[in-house]
Structure 1
Amino acid sequence: MEPSGIQLPPRPRDVRIDGVDPCSLLTEEQRADLGLDGRPVFDSALSELYPGDVPACAIRGFDPRAVLAGVSVVTTAGVELFTSRELALKLEPVVVHGFPGLVAVPTGFTEWCGVIVDVAPGQLLDIHFADGGRQPPIPQLQLCKDAQAVADAVVTTLLASR
């Protein structure tokens, strides 16, 4: 398969995320601003996409919208996983607080959107934002904007702790 051909700018610096709890990356205030009023739920599991265990945090929002945000701390693969091979995603370059990233829009689904942020060699943040299933469905373009807002908040918190 063909690589994406996307060239990302360099990172402003390396921010290692070994041992970072993904549930610590959104403050209570940030969660409220993003409409995520559910309790953060930590999970660490094998991933179909990334090698090894991937610590993740899922946070639901119920009011005013039914949504789900996911934050994964990936220390076993870098952003080149996305730029070096073809995936069922439409990739758009984005910059999050100076860090290169990708908006990952699934081509086969409209219920979610993701943002991948390159934070260090072989490490990335994987943020997903999904529709919670109410009617009418949230348009994918809005889910992508929301995923970018979550990514912005996550990187803000990460940089404040480093």
Structure 2
Amino acid sequence: MRRLAVPFLLAAVLAGCSSPTPGKPSANDQTGSAPTTGTSAGTAPVNRPRAVDLKAVEPCSLITPEQKAALGFNAVKAGTPRPEYGEGSQRCNQTYVDHKYIADIHTLLNGGVDRLKKTTGESKLTALRVAGYPAYLTRTESPGTAGACEIYIDANDGQLLLVSGIAGIGEDSATVDGACERAKALAEAAGAVLATK
């Protein structure tokens, strides 16, 4: 009889750990995960230093005068946004002192990582972290150049910050690898400022 009493007693104790009342926490509701900011398309939480609404960000503001000098830019100025990046999208163009490469930063407001994976193809994207943000790198062809390197920073749900490095037009010594090096450096610099917005 004592053997049967132990399982029933244990079951009664365990039942007391959970609450049948809706909205009340139970032992199974506790989580010990670190806080994150935002989710991507309603799926798993996205670990970002800060979720930033890119509608309120002017891309040229992501490059400080110190970064402009350190990155080797001779010009940083607003450019014409691309309509396919969504209404309100903005663009910033950068040119380097050595003229071997050019770069730009776009705010993409019409879709986040899920859209990127569908339109670009997940197999063409390399996942990385940029200034603490999840990001994706892809190499593309750019007519009249050796190619381009694009880094998409997951800045907010449904929004991406696109940083591109393009091998200079008519510059034989420019390479896609060189464009990627420049794009990564620019993305790190811009991402660090983005996290303060």
Structure with the larger RCO, 1 or 2 (CA within 8 Å, 6+ apart): 1
* Partners of 1:60 and 1:69 within 8 A in 2: yes
> In the TM superposition, what is the alpha-carbon distance from 1:101 to its structure 2 partner?
0.6
Answer yes or no: is 1:157 the counterpart of 2:185.
no
- In structure 2, do the counterparts of structure 1 residues 149 and 89 end up closer, same or farther at CA, with 3 Å as the change threshold? farther
Take 2:90 and 2:46, find their aligned partners in 1: how far apart are those partners?
25
- In structure 2, do the counterparts of structure 1 residues 137 and 101 end up closer, same or farther at CA, with 3 Å as the change threshold? same
SS for the counterpart of 1:69 is strand
> In the TM superposition, what is the alpha-carbon distance from 1:87 to its structure 2 partner?
4.5
Match of 1:76 in 2: 110
Take 1:126 and 1:59, find their aligned partners in 2: how far apart are those partners?
13
My pick for the range that moved more, 65-74 or 81-90, is 81-90
Match of 1:52 in 2: 87
Take 2:51 and 2:135, find their aligned partners in 1: how far apart are those partners?
14
Take 1:45 and 1:107, find their aligned partners in 2: how far apart are those partners?
18
* Partners of 1:35 and 1:65 within 8 A in 2: no
Take 1:69 and 1:89, find their aligned partners in 2: how far apart are those partners?
24
SS for the counterpart of 1:40 is strand
Which one has a larger percent strand, Structure 1 or Structure 2?
A: 1
With normalisation by structure 2, the TM-score equals 0.67
Aligned partner (choices 134, 139, 148) of residue 105 of structure 1: 139
Take 2:67 and 2:112, find their aligned partners in 1: how far apart are those partners?
26
SS for the counterpart of 1:147 is helix
Take 2:83 and 2:73, find their aligned partners in 1: how far apart are those partners?
25
Aligned residues: 151
* Partners of 1:25 and 1:157 within 8 A in 2: yes
> In the TM superposition, what is the alpha-carbon distance from 1:41 to its structure 2 partner?
2.8
Take 1:86 and 1:134, find their aligned partners in 2: how far apart are those partners?
27
Aligned partner (choices 20, 26, 47) of residue 57 of structure 2: 20
Q: Which has the larger radius of gyration?
A: 2
My pick for the range that moved more, 121-130 or 105-114, is 105-114
Which one has a larger percent helix, Structure 1 or Structure 2?
A: 2
With normalisation by structure 1, the TM-score equals 0.80
SS for the counterpart of 1:32 is helix
